[in-house]
Amino acid sequence: MPEKIAPPPDLYSPSADGITKLNGGCCRRCGYVFFPPQSYGCEVCGSGTDQLEPKALKGEGVLSSFATVHLHQGKGIEAPFTVGVILLDEGPAIRTILAQRTDAGLKIGDRMRAITVPAGRDESGASVDELRFAKHEPAR
């Protein structure tokens, strides 16, 4: 299995309720919500970094589009794998790798939830996780 590198841990954090929270941000001036966190100012109203504040995003949304990659030359992930665009409930759209390797059973509009999956070990031997999104059926 190829060696994988996990995203920086400040992009997400597990919570006590088992839902992976995304660490995004919000502009205090116009209310624009963004992910990933950034520090160059608001993309919408142009406010400076002094108007940006961290915002925990619940890591849930709707699948907007997806595609399965069958041929891939990179060493960080084996094909096939599926990428998707998730429209988060809080507003931002993010492109991400999905937890399931193929698009079998997926459809536009599916509810999705952020999860972490084991991704191997880092240089020190500690286990690392990667952020993924998986199909989620909310409780009724």
Question: Is 4 inside a domain boundary?
Answer: no
Domain-located, residue 23: yes
Q: Is residue 49 part of a domain?
A: yes
pTM of the predicted model as reported, rounded to 2 decimal places = 0.80
Closest of 4, 6, 1 to residue 130, by C-alpha: 6
Tokens 């919500």, located at residue: 33
Each of the 140 residues of the chain gets a pLDDT tens digit; together they read 455 554 454 888 876 666 789 999 999 999 999 999 888 999 999 999 999 999 999 999 999 999 999 988 877 788 899 999 999 999 999 999 999 888 889 999 999 999 888 777 777 878 777 889 999 876 66
34 in a domain, yes or no? Answer: yes
pLDDT of residue 1: 47
Is 2 inside a domain boundary?
no
Backbone phi and psi for residue 78, each to the nearest 5 degrees, phi listed first: -95, 140
Q: Which domain holds residue 21?
A: 9-135
3 within some domain: no
Residue 88 lies in a domain: yes
Confirm whether 32 is domain-assigned.
yes
The number of distinct structural domains making up the chain is 1
User: Integer distance in angstroms from the first to the last C-alpha of the chain?
Assistant: 39
Helix (H, G, I), strand (E, B) or coil at 102: coil
Q: Which long-range contacts (CB under 8 A, 24 or more apart) does 116-119 make?
A: 116/12, 116/14, 116/20, 119/4, 119/5, 119/6
Q: What is the pLDDT of residue 72?
A: 85
Residue 4: the pLDDT is: 53
